[in-house]
Structure 1
Amino acid sequence: MSTRVITYGTFDLFHEGHVRLLERAKALGDHLIVAVTTENYDSTRGKLNVSQSLMQRIQNVQKSGLADEVIIEEYEGQKINDIQRYEIDIFAIGSDWLGKFDYLNDYCKVVYLDRTKGVSSTQLRDETGILRIGVLGSGRIANRMVEEVRFVSGVNVEGVWSRQVASAQKFADVHELRVVAETVAELLAEVDAVYIATPHGTHGELARQAMAAGKHVLCEKPLALTKAEAQELYALAEQHQVVLLEAIKTAFAPGFQRMVAVARSGSIGQVRSVDATFTKLVTSGRELEAPDGGSISELASYPLVAIVKLLGTGYTDVTSSSLRPEGSEVDTFSRVDLTFPHALGTARVGLGVKAEGDLVVAGTNGYIYVPAPWWKTEYFEARFEDPGDNKKYYYKFDGDGLRYEVAEFAWLIRNETPESFKLRSSESITIAAIIEAARADATVLR
């Protein structure tokens, strides 16, 4: 009796890694069925930047000669039906989905196939146009980023560098990365771009090194803690003709973009104030360590991106107040107030104080309310004097949201576009300038 195997995937920009995966799946049995996902289903599951049509992707799989049968995956839950309909014995999928499909063991055997770490990165670049990314840093945010990249078509994380080689090795083992670099230069030689996820004070140095090597840079927020350094970095990006993008994920989220568009369209009248709060409770770690820690440097980028996107970059004054408890090296709660010619902006951030994390955009005809956590905007309301005029808006925010900034970064590089309208260099520079002023001139309370 023959053994029937099934596997699923988008198979966009079909490359050697796909071939190896299908070869391993085919070796498990006598008949391999390959299910290719539709654009609509990819969208519902949060997959971004798929560049080829469904028919192109099906043809790529067929041309490989490895599939005995090709079907289409169109909806959530279809795998269970397919397994029963096609009398499947083995469900095979890449090991980056380890544990995700264990529920299918009730219907057939589930096999997770190891990723092909030996695939040449040159092949990925030259044959398919895959963007090869290296990760600088191996902390919490870097781990979340690698998990999110798998939802962005045409992007592959090649390797990692960390100040601690053991940490980099552990990171690479967990995420099945090909390269564990002992030096930054070693990693740069293997990639087209880098994602910087190191402590704030190291961002500038690492970005300079990467751009000087001709590599594109996606840098965690804050890109810089001073206006001068932010200006210098964007000037270097222009000089070296590479993309430099600050990774403030909120700026790239579909719901947040739509909220800004609604607010600035005039539907609530003229925007007169923006009030945004972002707090989380932290008891230890670099966030609470001088000289670069504190609530302003750690969190202010989020409310400030809302203020800048809604009110612009032409503020006239910055004042701030910070709570620094006895024994603390940094501010644990801060309020930053911005004055514009015809509006006011307020950002509240905290590492040691918890508050309602909402966003209110006040206009002359009404206001927009975004509930906590507003920085992951999935829902907002436009509210008016007459409640009958109120409108509700709903949008997807998939995963941790990091996929949106990666997708934008990849799009800019592929389209040779140096700047994103979703977060312009002038806006990043303004955010750095406000952070610098707020930290330097805060009224400190104890």
Structure 2
Amino acid sequence: MVGAGNIARRFVTGLEHVDGAELTHVWSRRAEATQAFAEQHGLSACGSFEALLDADIDAVYIATAHPSHAEYSIAAMRKGKAVLCEKPAAISLPELESMLAVAREQRVLFMEAMKPPFYPLYRRLREHLAEDPIGTPNFVRAGCGVSNYGPGLPEFDLERVGGSLLDIGIYESFLAIDWLGAPRDVQAFGRLGGGVDVFASVNSVHEHGVAQWYCGLDLHGRGDALICAPHGNVTIDGPWWNPSTATVSYKDGRTVRLEAPFVGGGLNYETAHFCELLAQGQIESPVISHDMSRHMIDVVDRSRAALGL
């Protein structure tokens, strides 16, 4: 693992629920943090990133701030290591393309760590709609505001490519694309503060419909999601990106309540999927495909441009 911050700690907790996977080495730019993290979790603390890549490992999880994702991912893949990279995988579509080019060249597994589709509830919802459909979805509404961020954090720092769209909006972008298909057009309105987007409201047109979603760093939002189709609709209760309950409402009056609790904090489900792909010798996820990653960052790129970023 590269990184020893909050997301790294959550990853360790989740890995306890992934059979056949073991975390063995860690490195971060802060030597003291690396050593403390390694001692706490029984890992080998690497003195350099190069030492980490030279270790006897199969894959690297990138758990650093998103401006560094490309550098670490490319270096790991050029060493023949599979990469599970925290979202957003890249800070722009051109940067992502440079990462995917190396993945193709080296024929190694690369996957963006976008967790929602692997949760038990999300999978149960897909299974239920296959058995008792509501038709092809043509509208998605979602959003989240997290107002407990404070000044001085990376989310408010332009030099560290902060902002609500990359930090939160990438989730909403995924949801719209997952249910409505590839993006066709994007409009965005919002507020800037300190050079970053502190709030964005996005309308996106997709292959099969329209999405309306928002993300913010200076407000407290609900975090639920609505998916509408000709014969019914779905409400995923908030926080929809860590889903455990949903309601399917049919136009004939029927209502179906779905419940599926999760364990391990949730990162374990995407990690288990990644490990299965690695064991099978796959180089791309059919769920979070390279095209999915392209579409997600494309929507964010176009939204940021519309706000003048």
Q: 2:220 is matched with which residue?
A: 354
Please give the alpha-carbon distance, in whole angstroms, between the structure 2 residues aligned to 1:263 and 1:442: 36
Deviations 1:264-309 (CA, angstroms, capped at 9, x unpaired): 7782123110111122221141112113101001011211111111
Residue number among 149, 158, 161 corresponding to 1:290 in the alignment: 158
Aligned partner of 2:4 in structure 1 is: 138
> What is the aligned partner in structure 2 of residue 132 from structure 1?
none
Aligned mate of 1:311, from 149, 166, 180: 180
**Contact 2:181 2:207 (8 Å CA) reproduced:** no
Cα contact 2:26–2:52 (8 A) shared by 1: yes
Query: Is residue 270 from structure 1 mapped to residue 139 from structure 2 by the alignment?
Result: no
**Following the alignment from structure 1 to structure 2, what is the Cα–Cα distance between the partners of residues 187 and 336?**
40
Q: Distance in 2 between matches of 1:353 and 1:157?
A: 37
Counterpart in the other structure of 2:52: 187
Where structure 2 has 5 or more consecutive residues not aligned to the other structure, the ranges are none
Alignment-derived partner of residue 148 in structure 1: 14
Confirm or deny that 1:324 pairs with 2:189. Answer: no
For 2:50 and 2:207, how far apart are their aligned partners in 1?
Answer: 47
Number of residue-to-residue matches in the alignment: 305
Higher relative CO (CA 8 A, sep ≥ 6), structure 1 or 2? Answer: 2
Whichever residue aligns with residue 183 of structure 1, its letter is S
In structure 1, what is the Cα distance between the partners aligned to 2:136 and 2:199? 30
Instruction: Name 1:210's counterpart in structure 2.
Output: 76
Distance 1:298 1:378 in 2: 22
Q: CA deviation at 1:262?
A: 4.5
1:404 match? 269
1:339 equivalent to 2:205? Answer yes
Deviates more, 1:256-265 or 1:433-442: 256-265
Matches of residues 115-264 of structure 1 in structure 2 within 5 Å? 135-177=1-43, 179-190=44-55, 191-263=57-129
Contact 1:260 1:309 in 2 (8 A): no
TM-fit CA distance, 1:376 = 1.3
- Between the aligned residues of both structures, percent identity stands at 30
Q: Does 1:372 align with 2:238?
A: yes
1:200 is displaced (CA, Å) by 0.8
How many Å separate the matches in 2 of 1:252 and 1:410?
13
Whether 1:302 aligns to 2:166 is no
Other structure's SS at 2:36 match: helix
The structural deviation recorded for 1:254 is 2.3
Separation (CA, whole Å) in 2 of partners of 1:342 and 1:186: 47
Cα deviation, residue 161, structure 1: 0.9
Instruction: Compare CA radii of gyration and give the structure with the larger one.
Output: 1
SS in 2 for 1:376: coil
1:187-239 per-residue CA deviation (whole Å, 9 max, x = no partner) reads 11112211101111110010000000000000000001211222222221122
Check conservation: 2:16, 2:264, Cα contact below 8 A: no
- 1:427 paired with 2:295, answer no
- Asked whether the equivalents of residues 257 and 422 of structure 1 are also in contact (C-alpha less than 8 Å), the reply is no
C-alpha RMSD of the superposition: 1.8
Scaled by the length of structure 2, what TM-score is found?
Answer: 0.93
* 1:67-105 deviations in Å (ceiling 9; x for gaps): xxxxxxxxxxxxxxxxxxxxxxxxxxxxxxxxxxxxxxx
Give the partner amino acid of 1:372: G
Partner of 1:418: 283
| Secondary structure in 2 matching 1:381 | strand
